[in-house]
A and B are shown apart, each in its own frame.
Chain A
Amino acid sequence: MNIHEYQAKQIFAKYNVPTPRGIVANTPDQAAANAAELGGSVWVVKAQIHAGGRGLGGGVKLAHSIEEVRQLASEILGMNLVTHQTGPQGRRVHKVYIEEGADIKDEFYLGVVLDRAKEMPVIMASTEGGMEIEKVAQETPDKIIKVAVDPTIGFQGFHGRELVYGLGITDPAQQKKFINFASKVYTVYMDNDAELIEINPLIKTGSGDFLALDGKMSFDDSALGRHPEIEDMRDISEEDPDEREASQYGLSYVSLDGEIGCMVNGAGLAMGTMDTINYMGGTPANFLDVGGKANAQTVAKGFEIILKNSNVKAIFVNIFGGIVRCDRIANGILEATTMVDVHVPVIVRLDGTNANEASEILANAKIKNVIVANDLADGAAKAVAAAKGE
């Protein structure tokens, strides 16, 4: 689960990770009032969406008067912000964060993420703050310092020293401040079951303090049960409505831009089915894992979600029945076709336990639009042909 910058900064504040002061707003008037409350003479108006690259996309602007804050907020609120992380369709902005201006002397990058190979969190830091970190990693990988922290010992002094020496911070007072900052960010990561923390940029001010100018956090979905206060930060307007609806029914769905709807049990087989369709000259319209309990309700819901996509010209139902017997799944599919108006050809491949009985059930039902396939290759070929109108 992702949260907004202003929410990440609320969490940072709880751990005394320094950030500029700021207040979130839903309207231009609120934005102006927030600026007045913060005081000062320079403010930053920042679009709150769950994607990076907001500055380059025009979602972060500097204001020098309360009126300008109001003006910029009215421009940014409601805009469709396109960044390298949103895709070409962009994201609608519903909230802006009004923050006091900061005196930026140096910009750094600081992140914490799971190192899957080492099986422990790794702190990443770079002097190339404010840049797209993926680009830095690709072009100048030596400019990223990586320090893995074994959670059984936690953040130690030597981890901090590796960071500051790597970054070229030589002043002892500065070193101490940076190490303190990084150690708190590590604690935020561990305490909250975060999946990712990114502070880009982390700035050094003219007076030598370190501040989190930005904050991006995402969390391990499996651990949200023990963090209700984070679950409360969920902003459903940032989530794909179809993906969200699917997840409420225990389905895992990702929309793609092809023509063949896919309904499969198991994530690996679902990806393998998309790959096979592609291999045979078709294009998958979605990833959809119906999970281990494919029954009439879940299949009907799957049809419903797939058919919302008007590009879909055929649906390939590919189920490997194991513990759940195929004859029961076949009956579920038949029932689902009575619950949802399926107006495109449906190719059904059922394999595994009682597969022969299942084929008979489907063949005998003689439902218009339902085509039975023998195996994965046969099913994919039939789906590709059906989508082409053959």
Chain B
Amino acid sequence: MSILVDRDTKVIVQGFTGKEGTFHAEQCLNYGTLIVGGVTPNKGGQTHLGKPVFNTVKEAIAATNATVSMIFVPPAFVGDAVMEAADAGIELAVIITEGAPVKDMQSAKAYAVKHNMKTIGPNCPGIITAEECKIGIMPGMVFKKGNVGLISKSGTLTYEGANQVCNEGFGISTAVGIGGDPIIGLSYKQLLAMFEEDPQTKAIVMIGEIGGDLEIQAAKYIKENITKPVVAFIAGQTAPKGKRMGHAGAIISGGAGTAKEKMDALKEAGAEVVVSPADIGKAIAKILGS
């Protein structure tokens, strides 16, 4: 078991034939992901990486029964691509592209919700169910199969956290990089609920950062609904106010969204909060080792 995706998940790639789409789709295929085709307008009928190319998502679904789309289109076309996927009946869109305008994501997300399509990202590493299915740009070899679920806004901290968990002799069920933009798809709350239900997952690592209040909402949810142990880290304890730290959403504005308030809320909710990301692996070992 795992959450959202596994070895039988049929995946198409929007922006399949572009440079990034090609490179990462090939990496995913090598990992074992069941990529059944891709979409690039005006390239329908061609074959790319041994898979069929379609002009539209509708055609791709009709021919392949794909349920998940991995989106690599350029930033200005992300909103359009997400809405096309939702309209065509895709169940989960994983949006890798960085730099999509916030206004486009507002309408795309609202449309996705209306069509019951889940989204991950944008500006994220994607989702991986260890040793089964990788939909994204993460280095697959870091993720050994195991029983720790991982949710993170940051790409490299996802790898760092997973690496530590695996080095301690444990492994990952599913890891989801949710992205650090102001508007994102699936967030901690929904993913925590899925990990709570997943029999394979025995503990959850949650990595957050400054800005917004998703981590605060997550803390409330953990307190009321999550019985599995949670290890949490919040990046940006030393970040200055009012400065954007790389991610579009990583900014302490008007004194709100600090690491401290998030850490306090998570502690209060019963999570094991580590001060340094270097302690994520050890914290998991302490919980699962006994």
Contacts and interface: CB of A to CB of B under 8 A. Distances in A.
| Chain A partners chain B | yes
Interface in A152-196: 152, 190, 193, 195
B110 interface: yes
A241 interface: no
Given A151-B107, A256-B238, A278-B238, A268 B153 contact: yes
A188 to B, nearest CB: 13
A269 B154 contact: yes
A52 to B, nearest CB: 11
Nearest to A324: B139
Interface string B115-140: 00000000000000000000001110
B212 interface: yes
B229 interface: no
A276 B278 CA distance: 7
Given A222-B75, A352-B163, A266 B155 contact: yes
Contacts of B44: none
Contacts, number: 174
Given A220-B102, A351-B163, A353-B141, A152 B238 contact: no
Interface string A184-212: 00000010010100000000000000000
A226 B236 CA distance: 31
B106 interface: yes
A275 to B, nearest CB: 5
B156 interface: yes
Among A150, A271, A289, A376, the most chain B Cβ lie within 10 Å of the Cβ of: A271
A298 interface: no
A250 to B, nearest CB: 11
B149 interface: no
Interface stretch (B46-54, B86-94, B245-253): B245-253
Interface residues of B, number: 62
30 contacts: A114-B106, A114-B183, A116-B249, A117-B217, A119-B109, A119-B110, A120-B106, A151-B107, A193-B101, A222-B99, A226-B101, A254-B243, A268-B153, A268-B180, A269-B154, A269-B156, A269-B160, A271-B250, A272-B157, A272-B277, A274-B238, A275-B277, A276-B277, A279-B276, A287-B246, A323-B139, A352-B142, A352-B159, A376-B278, A377-B276
Closest 9 CB pairs of A and B: A268-B154, A267-B246, A266-B156, A322-B139, A223-B101, A377-B278, A271-B235, A269-B156, A268-B157
Interface of A: 85, 114, 116-117, 119-120, 134, 137-138, 150-152, 190, 193, 195, 220-223, 225-226, 252, 254, 256, 264-272, 274-280, 284, 287, 289, 320-323, 351-353, 375-377, 380
